Amino acid sequence: MDNTHTEIWENCLKIIKDNISFQKFKTWFEPIRPLKVEDNVLTIQVPSQFFYEWLEEHYITLLKKTIKQELGVNGRLEYSIVMDNSFENADPLTVTAPTGNKPATQNPDISMPIDLNKGNVKEIPNPFIIPGLKKINVQSQLIDSYSFDNFVEGDCNRLARSAGYAVAQNPGKTSFNPLFIYSPTGLGKTHLAHAIGLEAKNNYPEKTVLYVSTEQFIHQFIDAVRNNSHNDFIHFYQMIDLLIIDDIHGLAAKEKTQNVFFHIFNHLHQKGKQLVITSDKPPVELKGVETRLLSRFKWGLAADLQLPDFETRMAIIRKKLYNDGVNMPDDVVEYLAYSISTNIRELEGALVSILAQSTLNKKAITMELARQMIDKFVKNTAKEISIDYIQKVICDYFGLPLESINSKTRKREIVQVRQLAMYFAKKHTKSSLATIGHHCGNKDHATVLHACRTVVNLIETDKQFRTYVEDLEKKLRI
């Protein structure tokens, strides 16, 4: 019969199911596929080398007895192991291996309970419980305030936010698996990661959602190796439905931890579980991470968070003020948004400083107070002057609306303001000429060069204009 190997394996599974727990059966035997039976040798396919080693270490005695019962005393078992092959996107390799001769390891039951929202499981130690310390809540480790409601959407983060929301609505069932979110520090990766977890938990209360930093994961693995519970550590993570790993770049050059994460990743992905990973760099730029892991990071979607534009920064400030029930003058909000443009975390930190100074000293929030606090904060954070901030200072100085810089008018005073903005942007920022031109009325790089030469000539020939430039230089440097 063509289905002989399938029928034999189904009979074996019935016996195995009666001899081990449901969770163990689901984890270690459901993924196995029977391939063929020839000369009393049943070949089964297992999803990884680690899977094969686990079966050989823990279930070989049970497997041998079951196979002999179905195929007779001469019955044998061989494995077809799916091996990674990341060369030019080739299909996975399979390697055939016979069963070993060593007896299965009998691990004693662990009485330590784990709350996985699926009842009380009493088989695997929980890496979130530290000996001698109070049990850590492992239900999610998510921060409630880091929700989608508090995540301000803009052009800078729309793709990542939309993909994250789609994942939270249907974890493991979209093409965004893994979802790889990357950006420099302070732009909202961790907030978005928590928001995905919170939304998924709200939509699927029965699913196990876990957020863990890479540093925490590494420390847990080291403890597991030290306590000789390496396999239990892996098994714990393989039971998660939505695993969120923050700052994966922390795995660089840590070969053993990368290896264990590789097996966890494979298992979760093969079982249709969702992975969300954050990093400070895209997969192609990660150094010290194995090629086989990098190739898997590219299986889903890599989405970046970019520097927020002025409108998004304003929205972030207003959202936080609204949540805190605080009013702040519009000119102070604008000044704060213009002053700190490269890091959302620093922007929120400066806002907290202003609010604290106002509350503790019972002072009204004014531009003067804002300048004092922000200037100190900017100096402490070595803030880089932005094109937006330069335009704001120049327009305020000449009493012109900000939109005038981007207008098409040829009025002399507007043209000079625009030229000054280009001159100071070239002097104080690392932006290209094309970028400066884009921010100053969508001009080309040749126009920016002409503007800079014009300003230099006027400084040398026009005393009043030179005074303007000197005043503006002082304001930008304060």
DSSP bridge pairs for 196: none
Contact between 51 and 97 (Cβ < 8 Å): no
Consecutive 10-residue runs of the chain (478 residues): their mean pLDDT? 77 88 82 88 83 80 88 86 50 51 42 35 53 44 89 89 94 92 90 95 90 92 86 87 94 91 92 94 90 90 88 88 84 82 81 82 80 65 68 88 84 90 88 85 89 92 91 80
Is the pTM higher than 0.95? no
CA distances from 335 to 147, 161, 248, 340, 366 (A): 27, 27, 35, 9, 11
Residue corresponding to tokens 């520097």 = 307
For the stretch 185-226, pLDDT in tens is 889 999 999 999 999 999 998 888 999 999 999 999 998 888
Q: What is the pLDDT of residue 85?
A: 45
The number of C-alpha atoms within 13 Å of 462 and in the hemisphere containing its C-beta is: 13
3 state SS for 305-366: CCCCCHHHHHHHHHHHHHHHCCCCCHHHHHHHHHHCCCCHHHHHHHHHHHHHHHHHCCCCCC
Give pLDDT tens digits for 253-295. 898 999 999 999 999 999 999 999 999 999 988 999 999 999 9
d(CA 14, CA 299): 35
Query: 3-class DSSP state for residue 83?
Result: strand
Cα 88 to Cα 295, 297, 364: the distances in Å are: 10, 15, 63
Tell me the HSE value of 390 on the side-chain side, using a 13 A CA sphere.
24
Q: Which amino acid is at 113?
A: P
Domains of the chain: 4-98 (3.30.300.180), 158-304 (3.40.50.300), 310-380 (1.10.8.60), 387-477 (1.10.1750.10)
Contact 270, 31 (CB under 8 A): yes
How is the beta sheet containing 41-46 ordered, strand by strand? 33-38, 41-46, 76-83, 93-98
Residue type, 313: R
Beta strand pairing status for 41-46 and 76-83? parallel
Residue range 58-87, pLDDT digits in tens: 788 888 888 888 888 888 888 887 764 443
Whole-angstrom distance, CA of residue 234 vs CA of residue 191: 27
CA atoms within 13 A on the CB side of 326: 21
In percent, how much of the chain has pLDDT > 70? 85
Q: Following CA atoms 445, 308, 339, 365 in sequence, which dihedral angle do they give, to the nearest 10 degrees?
A: 150
Distance CA 4, CA 6 (A): 5
Taking CA atoms, 283 is separated from 181, 253, 327, 425, in Å, by 10, 15, 42, 32
Alpha carbons 449 and 423: distance in angstroms, whole number: 9
Residues 6+ apart with CB under 8 A from 85: 91, 92, 93
Burial of 399 (0-12, 13-18, 19+ CB in 10 A): exposed
**For the chain, what is the total number of helices (H) and then of strands (E)?**
19, 11
